[in-house]
Amino acid sequence: MNLTSRFVSLALLGSSLAGCAVGPDYEAPKTQTPVSWQAAHSGSGQLHPAEGATRLSEDWWSLFNDPVLNNLQRRADKASPDLNTAVLRFAQSRMQRQMVAAQRGVDVNASAAVNRQRLSENGSNALMIQRIAPTGDSDQIAKVLAEPFTLYQAGFDASWEPDLWGRIRRSIEAADASVAAQQAMFEETRLGVSAELARSYFELRGVQQQIAVARQDITATEESMQLIQVRADGGLVDDFDVERQRGQLAELRSSLPQLQASESAAINQIGVLIGAEPGSLRDDLMPVEQAEPQTPDLSLGLPSEVARRRPDIRAAEAQLHAATANIGVAVADLYPTIRLGANFGYESVEDSQFGDWGSRTWAVGPSLSLPIFDNGRRRSQINLRKLEQQEAAVSYQQTVLKAWQEVDDALTHYGAERQRNQRLQEKLRSSDIAYGMAKARYAGGMTDFLVELDAQRAYLQSRRDVVDSNTQLRLTLIALCKALGGGTPAPAAEVSLSGR
């Protein structure tokens, strides 16, 4: 069998063995999930809202039907620094995958050189001349060979490594899993940014409502102050009632600066999330009339569906897949590698003869690398990859357990806040009626001013409590949407690097 036939035989052998891959094959982890959310609930069943027909869309924040929030979410989707960083990491993972997959092909390189050289008269070639040349002629031959000359070289070489043990295949498998993990991390970042933006937005609206309520209360208290002052001037009441009302007015006025500072901080926080400069959002986020918060019953589906919706679970599973494939890469390093190579070129010391057929050079043949002894380095590498796989498996289990906990906590807090909001609305209606009766009785001289003042304080506190509960109700709904993984994107969706 000639050399060419042997080369072809080795290539065919490498191709036939390329389908073999050492190391463990990945198997998706089996996670025990509860039959229903009620079965997974840890506390009182009264705090668990009933499931309804409202299903989250991918743009889950549209549930609040707020055009300003929708616009902010679109701006964040395009300009959020956190999202841009996640996109770049995803792009890096795809480039890494392309680099790994390139190992399957043939490497072809071209080279060219022109060198002016001179050989040493006393170098290793001098010993060869002394052995083969007649005595007395060796020095003359050495001088002739040592004369400077120009060497012209050009050519190309090609090499290919058959994937005999699946090292490249496992590397590509790990790279694919890393790409999937980075895509899931991007979706997790997007969910986190959208949830934090919605949270900051409704915290801002809550503070602005508190400011509006405080200003209304100040105006009403000032009017009451004037009436009391008129009665005091007429001798109907003493200055004690005047001073108590003046203290109530000062207390209300003192709350405004802190609320205004909280408003400014909330606007700045929104600006950071969408990549806007400080102060650029003040006109866009002017106070507006807020409707009563929506309190839908969400269609949760089965607990097992959360694993397909939550990006952190999908990222943890992809990382486990990558860790499993990396074991195969480490195992493949224990086996010999064969590299098939060939090169062809021209070499001449005369530029006029450089292109002659007689100046050609070539070589073809395989090379073998056989690991014999490395002081246990490769075995340690395999053990390290196995430990990393075990860590990834534990991390996956922990992520799933954390998901169940977050959903159950979010459901509990959402159900509790809904009930609290209903009770506070009832309290506000009663306080309003009681305050009106107290004012009427005081105006008719039936009671002293202390009764009216207590009724006023109870009414004002009830208003503040309802505003705070309305904000908290929206925030708990946001936390629930985030815990459920937001909307349900298409399973095969990929991140667009040119624009989102």
Domains and CATH numbers, the chain: 19-104+166-335+377-483 (1.20.1600.10), 109-161+338-370 (2.20.200.10)
CB 179 within 8 A of CB 93: yes
Distance CA 275, CA 457 (A): 42
Bridge partners (DSSP) of residue 367 are 339
Closest CA to 270 of 196, 208, 206: 196
Closest CA to 407 of 61, 56, 59, 48: 48
Residues of the chain with pLDDT under 70: 1-19, 32-55, 133-136, 236-237, 290-291, 297-307, 448-450, 487-500
pLDDT score recorded for residue 499: 44
pLDDT score recorded for residue 7: 47
pLDDT score recorded for residue 492: 43
Backbone angles phi, psi at 191, to 5 degrees: -65, -45
Residue 229, SS3 per DSSP: helix
Distance CA 393, CA 322 (A): 11
CB 345 within 8 A of CB 360: yes
Run of H or E including 347? strand 337-348
The letter for the amino acid at 346 is Y
Give the list of residues 6+ apart from residue 336 with CB closer than 8 angstroms, or none: 164, 368, 369, 370, 371
